[in-house]
Amino acid sequence: MLPMTSPLTAAPTAVKQERWSPRLWGTLLVLCAAMFLDALDVSMVGVALPSIASDLGLSTATLQWIVSGYILGYGGLLLLGGRAADLLGRRRVFLIALAVFALASLLGGLVDSGPLLIASRFIKGLSAAFTAPAGLSIITTTFKEGPERNRALSIYTTCAATGFSMGLVLSGLLTELSWRWTMLLPAPVALIALVFALRLIPHSPREDSSGGYDLPGAVTGTAAMLLLVFTVVQAPEVGWTSARTLLSFLVAAALLVTFVLVERRSASPLVRLGVLRSGSQVRAQLGAAAFFGSYVAFQFIVTQYMQSLLGWSALQTALAFLPAGVLVALSSTKIGGIVDRFGTPRVIAVGFTLLVVAYALFLRISLTPQYAAVILPSMLLLGAACALVFPSLNIQATNGVDDREQGMVSGLLNTSIQVGGALFLAVITAVITADGQASASPQATLDSFRPGLAVVTVIALAGLLITLPGLRRKRPSTTESVVVARSTPSDTTGSTSTADSTADSTDSTDSTGSTGSTAKVAVRD
């Protein structure tokens, strides 16, 4: 049994923030830069697609793979990336993946063919699948659990949200010069971050791999995620009920079942299934999928609405999203304190409520722009929701988890985010094109958008409902121990253990503010 400490709730007046050293700030900023680049790269390419198609002579079917290629590499390999960070060393994995990201960015800006551009995007997604969980696990193992980690995670995740928002603005500006600049921009930034990372990121120990590497789990898990993301991305084009789609889903399901069976019997599993016995962990994973999936789908509809119906330019469309990005950026240092005081379930619930209102308000759009009455209020509510929900989900998913499993949990969380984004975007695409009248007239196009916005609102509402059970958890006293399940021999064989039966008690930690005095956490080993 390995003891570790976890801050539990006490009076807010007892909190004393520790001053971070310049090196610690430098480490956090380097990790934030990498996360910013990952998010930036996802959003920048969308505005540049028409220019890419014109310059390289690409069809619509080929063009969508410039986006889907990144998603496929990112979402398909996150589980492997998270576990690799634990087994091979977080610093090593982060540095190598960041270097690959920089080279792929350079390649993407220089190529002159569609297949090479798609290949560079897949490589970038693959490298991001390793930098994202490695970076998050470096933070959760460098900053101690409680107010310090919450503060660091709020800044880190805010950088991701800001990168996603600012990517639209930067893409609108850069595309005016050339679409190649949208591909090239991340390369020098990644190289600068790499230079500082070599000096600042602390060395991390590797997990003991004497039990062997879970190669069958790595193969089946990675294959299952790649096939699932590929099928979801392709379904709107080939048909959700086509034989190809149904067969792909069947094979993906079979691979996932095989993966679960392998993990239950592995001595060194890629994903320890015991972590999913915690209700707070499951809510964090499902909430992340609903949050990011609804946001990506909403942005897709709004971008189409502003450009195809209102006739706005790419830059005007990007500037419309700017209030949300600014609000997220300004709140970066505040969210950690809010979580300390109210706990993640309350903060997430409030954030999802704002998200539902923002999406529902946008249902009032018409063929004439209603900026002050609809668009601006929706964007401000959206920014406030992102600022509250995204950091809190990361805090909830990583709290109470042993350092040796932070990479694994980070990989799980990012997988939920990416699969949620791919799945719900595909669903929304199918909804708004279901009647085949999107090009008939402006009014028909608008009418096709409304069901999509309604579904987006329902997805956000589902995220809120997923969060609500966490509000009913009893707040533990400051002398109460919190048991966090850790792998045991019986864990890996699938039988029940004492640790398993108490794993769900980590629910109580997500309903507390992480401040004040400390209590021991028994980590089963």
Beta 518-523 vs 2-7: how paired, if at all?
antiparallel
| Bigger pLDDT: 54 vs 473 | 54
Element (H, E) at 116: helix 114-142
- Residue 177: Cβ within 10 Å count: 9
Gap between the Cα atoms of 286 and 204, Å rounded: 30
The predicted structure's pLDDT at residue 133: 87
The predicted structure's pLDDT at residue 479: 35
Which part of the chain has CATH 1.20.1250.20? 21-202, 274-472
The arrangement of secondary structure in 274-472, i.e. its CATH architecture, is Up-down Bundle (1.20)
Q: Are 87 and 134 in contact (CB under 8 A)?
A: no
HEC string of 127-186? HHHHHHHHHHHHHHHHCCCCHHHHHHHHHHHHHHHHHHHHHHHHHHHHHHHCHHHHHHCH
- Residue 478: Cβ within 10 Å count: 16
For residues 118-135, give the mean pLDDT: 90
* R_g of the chain computed on alpha carbons: 22
Residue 21 pLDDT > 60: yes
Greatest Cα-to-Cα distance within the chain, rounded to the nearest angstrom: 67
H helix runs in 266-405, sequence order: 279-304, 314-330, 335-342, 344-361, 376-398
pLDDT, one tens digit per residue, over 364-390 is 999 888 888 999 999 999 999 988 998
Q: Which of 488, 482, 499 is nearest to 400 (CA)?
A: 482
The predicted structure's pLDDT at residue 439: 52
Query: Which numeric CATH code is attached to 21-202?
Result: 1.20.1250.20
The predicted structure's pLDDT at residue 190: 93
E strands in 346-479: none
The predicted structure's pLDDT at residue 505: 42
Gap between the Cα atoms of 44 and 378, Å rounded: 22
Percent pLDDT > 70 in the chain is: 82
The predicted structure's pLDDT at residue 364: 92
Of the listed ranges 89-103, 272-286, 347-361, the one predicted with least confidence: 272-286
Residue 37: partners with Cβ closer than 8 Å, 6 or more residues away:
101, 163, 186, 189, 190, 193
Residue 430 pLDDT > 90: no
Residue 208 pLDDT > 60: no
Dihedral pair phi/psi, residue 2, rounded to 5°:
-105, 120
**Cα separation values, 509 from 120, 143, 206, 448, Å:** 42, 17, 27, 43
Report for 92-96, 229-233, 421-425: range of highest mean pLDDT: 92-96
pTM above 0.85, yes or no: no
